[in-house]
Amino acid sequence: MKAIFIAYNQAYNEEIVNLLEDCGQRGYTLWNEIGGRGSVDGEPHLGNHAWPTQNHAVLTVLDDALVPEVMARLRQTDADNAMLGLRAYVLPVEEAL
């Protein structure tokens, strides 16, 4: 099993959740209104008067076989939406309950 941690501009929440569901991934944990600043070229998303935008984040645990499809769809979504600021990280899951 693997976990994918996904952080993105809050305006794209519906697209990200729908992407997971379209890939057959039902379960996830969602964090709303989180701040951050990208390491490449994006603006800060801090939820304050200077930088009012915020991010959301999703953690989903899925079978290894589903990871390539989800990551490919996330890459395409990021490429299609320059302001998305999407970052996704695949992590090993050693044990689940």
More confident position, 53 or 67: 67
More confident position, 49 or 23: 23
The two three-digit tokens of residue 87, written as one number: 């970052």
Domain annotation for the chain: domains and CATH numbers? 2-92 (3.30.70.120)
Q: What is the mean pLDDT of residues 74-97?
A: 91
**Percent of all residues in the chain with a pLDDT value above 90, rounded to a whole number:** 65
Classify 46 in phi/psi space as left (phi over 0), alpha (psi -120 to 50) or beta.
alpha
Q: What is the mean pLDDT of residues 72-97?
A: 91
Q: What is the mean pLDDT of residues 9-17?
A: 92
* CB neighbourhood size of 4 (10 A): 21
More confident position, 70 or 49: 70
pLDDT in tens, 30-64: 999 887 777 677 777 777 788 778 889 999 999 99
pLDDT value, residue 39? 67
The answer to whether the CB of 9 falls within 8 A of the CB of 55 is yes
pLDDT value, residue 54? 85
